[in-house]
Structure 1
Amino acid sequence: MPRIEVEDTVDDWLMLNPALGKGLSVLGQAVYTASGLPLRILEAARMRIAIANDCHTCRNARQARATECGLDQDFYAHILEWRSWPGFNARERLAIEYAERFTQDHLGLAGDDDFWQRLRRQFTDVEISSLAVCCSLWLGAGRTARVLDVGQTCQLTLESVTPC
């Protein structure tokens, strides 16, 4: 049951302050249309944060282009096994590791020179910056939805124009 007086949907709480709601929506749209990151990398990082946030809506959200991009139930089911599951490539593993550490130990992540060397071998500075902004959105919006207990019963289909 929502902690604020709104309908239990994904969007109603955003409409309490339309200017802020619109801003968050615009950022969300940019994540899926302008990040420049492949969809599998976005989904790997997003799902790791969804699990950390325990946001039910985020955990149940799926991409409209899931099949086209090889985003099947195995992909999502093995996010916590990112170190060993053979279905993830090196870049997807690094994106999941970044997302995990971003949510759980951001200061340790910031100071881990070995990680940054590994990340920079696989990602450009533009991609790293994009991943950081995407993770910021998912962490903040997902935790907010979970804390306010809004939209937790909703099933979302996400639209993206990014390549697989």
Structure 2
Amino acid sequence: MQERLSYPKFHRLQPATAEGLGLIHEAVATSLDPQLVHLIHYRVSQINGCAFCQHMHAAEGRQDGEQQERLDMLAGWHDAPGFSTRERLALAWAEALTHIADAPVDDELYGSVKAEFGDKGMIDLTAEVLIINSWNRIAISNRFMPKLAAQ
């Protein structure tokens, strides 16, 4: 597969888009645990099939102390040990929003996430899901390629 547009070139040609998504992240980052954000970004990137973002967010997660075992099990988090109730709710919310065209967000999930995160936390969580879904679409459509150590 051939890269259509590189990540650095995208930033050069359209810095306002990259900066805008960054500003949204900065606005909500203080209320969400960085480990949780890494899990959300990595899981949504798995769902969307974005190799570039999976590579980047797995590396960032490990750099910030995320365990490789948890990253290895993330696609099967529903049945895997080692994820807290808060993480499970955030991952369920991220999956529901990522698949929103296929099914509406169910009331039980909404209520559970709201009880755990509160109104502001839900907005922040939703914004993080929006950010990574946006980046996935930018990266996939332009075929951003991860830079592997062996390259």
Query: For residues 12-161 of structure 1, what are the structure 2 equivalents within 5 Å?
Result: 12-28=9-25, 30=26, 34-61=29-56, 62-63=59-60, 65-67=63-65, 71-106=66-101, 108-110=103-105, 112-150=106-144, 152-154=145-147
Structure 1, unaligned stretches of length 5 or more?
A: 156-164
CA distance in 2, matches of 1:35, 1:141: 20
TM-score by length of 1: 0.76
Check the 8 A contact 1:49/1:139 in 2, yes or no: yes
| Greater helix content | 2
Render the CA deviation track for 1:41-76: whole Å, top value 9, x for unaligned. 212211111101211121112227422xxx111111
CA distance in 2, matches of 1:21, 1:126: 24
Where does structure 1 differ by over 4 angstroms across 4 or more consecutive aligned residues? none
CA distance in 1, matches of 2:133, 2:127: 10
CA distance in 1, matches of 2:100, 2:19: 30
Shift of 1:139: 0.2
Check the 8 A contact 2:44/2:133 in 1, yes or no: yes
CA distance in 1, matches of 2:122, 2:101: 15
Q: Which has the higher contact order (CA 8 A, sep 6+)?
A: 1
Check the 8 A contact 1:55/1:142 in 2, yes or no: yes
TM-score by length of 2: 0.82
CA distance in 2, matches of 1:116, 1:106: 16
Shift of 1:26: 3.2
CA distance in 2, matches of 1:24, 1:16: 15
- Partner of 1:154, secondary structure, is coil
The structure-2 alpha-carbon separation of the partners of 1:154 and 1:84, relative to structure 1 and needing over 3 Å to count, comes to: same
RMSD: 2.2
Say whether residues 1:2 and 2:3 are aligned partners.
yes
Check the 8 A contact 1:15/1:21 in 2, yes or no: no
Shift of 1:22: 3.0
